[in-house]
Amino acid sequence: MRTFRQGTYSKQWAVFRFNKLCDLYLDRVKSIGVGEKLAAESLRRLKALKSASRELAQSTALKSPATSPSNLPIRKLALAALEAMSEDELRQVWLPLGPVADAVGKCHSQ
């Protein structure tokens, strides 16, 4: 399991999973009567959208919003609000999974 957390299997798994999801998508689209050509074109567009989304995420990640001076006041406000919340209230807060996973990984590596 340790090698998975370090990324050894992570990329391989993501590629495998995405390919399986693509196969499932094509099967389901065809099962409702969509033609082969249209199904393949829609999958091509989905893959292009995923690729563009990944590139955008990588470019925005490089900007490091945590160090941006304009974000510091809202970050302090958010942290103060979180510290004031009960455990039940904290369980109701929506957080994006990526930063949560990163934080969990940092806690476990220390």
Number of domains in the chain: 2
Verify that 51 and 7 share a domain, yes or no: yes
pTM for the model stands at 0.47
Verify that 88 and 73 share a domain, yes or no: yes
Verify that 46 and 97 share a domain, yes or no: no
Spatial separation of the C-alpha atoms in residues 53 and 105, rounded to whole Å: 23
Q: Is the pLDDT of residue 37 over 60?
A: yes
Q: What pLDDT digit, counting tens, does each position of 13-35 carry?
A: 888 999 999 999 999 999 999 99
Alpha helices (runs of H) in 32-110, residue ranges in sequence order: 36-61, 72-84, 87-91, 97-109
Verify that 3 and 47 share a domain, yes or no: yes
From the list 72, 21, 30, the residue with the least C-alpha distance to 50 is: 21
Verify that 30 and 5 share a domain, yes or no: yes
Verify that 84 and 102 share a domain, yes or no: yes
Verify that 11 and 51 share a domain, yes or no: yes
List, in order, residues 6 or more apart from 66 with CB less than 8 Å away.
75
Q: Name the phi and psi angles at 28, rounded to 5.
A: -70, -40
Q: pLDDT: is 39 or 102 the higher one?
A: 39
Verify that 59 and 74 share a domain, yes or no: no
